Amino acid sequence: MHPQSAHSPLQIAEPVAQALRDGTPVVALESTIISHGMPWPDNLQMAQRVEQTVRDSGATPATIAVMGGRWCVGLADEALERLARQGPATPKLSRRDLPLVTARGGDGATTVAATMIIAARAGIRVFATGGIGGVHRGAAQSMDISADLLELARSPVAVVCAGAKAILDLGLTLEVLETQGVPVYGWCTDELPAFYSRRSGLRLPCRVDSLDELAAALQLQWATGLGGGALVANPIPAAAEIPHESIAPVIDDALVQAAQQGIHGAAVTPYLLSRLNDLTVGRSLAANIELVLNNARVAAGLAAAWARLQPSLPIVPVASASR
């Protein structure tokens, strides 16, 4: 790593740094969804639309990735396109991967867990994504549990999502979150959304219908030293949803095919998302894009509510750099 980076690898783009200095709303966005979640050029178009949706909703977008060993918070247009074009060739980074990739001066797309870590370091409290990772089906044998769930118990960031990815064991995912003490708030819903579907049949412990109330709960969580993050479960818009009874058998078929091909570990989720897109003739990709845009809108509103609660003194980022 370059000597300048020895103290901190954090590099905050000037528009994001200015928003943090001014105390105006900022929404973190992950990069794995760009590199591993969608095919080119849909991934670039999605990333650009999500950033614009955040801006149109009154907040500053901060897409996060590791580029040349720097923890970049806010990407220039060319960096966003580079990630999208490279696709899965860019390594997917979670908590365990950050130190070595950073030390080597490498690139990487950040998962939910890694994005939370970097967002928290930058002073960003709200993060929008599609769906979090969770407990994989058959985890009793494989022990395949996403680091996203443990990070939600560590980093003080609120993650707005459409629940956990529908290919997972949603019931066990909720159980792990409960064990880790992570608040799970249903945004205008009593049930955990099932990513492509608005309902899962799994009742949530808390429903919120006011972003100001949610921001106040987050402020109390962090001010009282409870620590950790929070999950804000936001159902996919009704017009874009794929009902559970329609998508469930397709997911089952894709899981069988993944097992037959010996696909496991970190490769499972990208494979299944791609296979679902094929099996649904593009319907699952369209739903994925709409739910991410919807999460971006809610996250921008939450970031604005959070900003209204903060004292007049601005957040001073750990480090910043011009685009």
**Active-site residue list:** 30, 165
Q: Which residues pair with 71 in a beta bridge?
A: 10, 66
What's the residue count for the chain? Answer: 323
Matching residue, tokens 């950050």: 98
Rounded Cα gap, residues 262 and 249, in angstroms:
20
101's tokens: 């990739």
What are the residues whose beta carbons fall under 8 Å from the beta carbon of 229, sequence distance 6 or more? 116, 151, 152, 153, 154, 155, 156, 157, 158, 159, 182
What are the residues whose beta carbons fall under 8 Å from the beta carbon of 3, sequence distance 6 or more? none
Pairing of strands 230-233, 26-29: unpaired
11's tokens: 């590099």
What are the residues whose beta carbons fall under 8 Å from the beta carbon of 134, sequence distance 6 or more? 145, 146, 148, 149, 164, 165, 168, 169, 170, 172, 173, 176
